[in-house]
Amino acid sequence: MDAPAASTITSSSHALPYLSIANPHATARIYPHGGHVAQWRPAGHGEVLWLSARSLYQPGKPIRGGIPLCFPWFGPHPQRSELPAHGFARIRPWTVAQASDLPDGRSRVRLSLAADSETLAAWPHDFSAELTISVGATLEVELAVTNRGQLPAPCEMALHTYFSIGDIRHTTVEGLGGCTFIDKLDHGTRKVQDGNIAFTGEIDRVYLGSEATAVIRDPVLGRRISIAKRGSRSTVVWNPWIAKAVKMADFGDHEWPGMLCVETANAADDRLSLAPGATQRMAAVISVSSGA
């Protein structure tokens, strides 16, 4: 792999190699497996992304935490239950196309993925995808997917971001008030968000037409995480709470209070139909500030 001066390739502690980034603004860890940003720590703050202590690091399995990429479908495949949940992007090996230091001290890593016989068997469209990760005081992750085939390509996509928080029961999310959401825990019933989100139990919602910046207010860690977006109309909010956490083998039984997913997506009603030759770019720009 080609790497910038500020990064190193490591493959010691886990079965999967990763790229370690360290620059004056932040540190980060990126796995080519799944095109997965697993850690990001801006100077002066703790880890912003949550990563399960029980995560697997195995070919063919997703990493539990960080930013899994969901593509070309979100959730279970609508017809073929044997296909992997959230699509194949998060479990495929991506190629490191470029890794460089920027003049302002940030680091940029570009990963790519293209259709092959396995992806075509699961999703019959020729495509190429590029993930551009800019690591600095803000973390910017852009997924660009191009339809290289002759037919329109229906798809969903998500940057399934897990955030590290002090305690979900004291956390709120603003920026989604007034949005219609699909409540996946209530037979997909559509509801409208009244004000900020507070958490008192399991939550699994797809907010539709939500293009505004979401802000996680975390009084326990004393910080605010802001998630701005481009090219994304959906926001998924998920925490498994107690019972579902226990059922997941790669998720610690007691880890649920410390994580919250706020996902930058185009899913459900906001799914896309990529015209032949068209590229969809979707990005999350994440920043942190002290004080909640």
Strand order in the sheet with 197-198: 95-101, 107-114, 127-135, 139-147, 279-290, 223-230, 214-218, 172-174, 197-198
**Considering beta carbons, is residue 49 or 236 the nearer one to ligand BG6?**
236
Beta strands across the sheet bearing 36-42: 7-10, 18-22, 26-31, 36-42
Separation CA 224–CA 31 (nearest Å): 26
Strand 69-70 vs strand 95-101: parallel, antiparallel, or unpaired?
Answer: unpaired
Is 211 tagged catalytic?
Answer: no
- 85 lies in the binding site for ligand BG6 (CB under 6 A): yes
Question: Using only C-alpha atoms, what is the Rg of the chain?
Answer: 18
Residues 171-230 that bind ligand BG6 (CB under 6 A): 184, 204
Residues in region 133-162 near ligand BG6 by CB under 6 A: 160
Binding mask 231-250 for ligand BG6 (x = CB under 6 A): -----x-x------------
Judge contact between 135 and 227, C-beta under 8 A: no
Considering the complex, state which of residue 228 and residue 265 has its C-beta at the smaller distance from ligand BG6: 265
Number of residues that bind ligand BG6 (CB under 6 A): 11
Q: Which is nearer to ligand BG6, 53 or 275 (CB)?
A: 53
CA distances from 169 to 64, 176, 220 (A): 21, 18, 10
Nearer to ligand BG6, 33 or 86 (CB): 86
Q: How far is the CB of 160 from ligand BG6 (least distance, A)?
A: 6
Annotated catalytic residue 160? yes
Q: Which residues does the annotation mark as catalytic?
A: 160, 263
Contacts to ligand BG6 by CB under 6 A: 62, 75, 85-86, 160, 184, 204, 236, 238, 261, 263
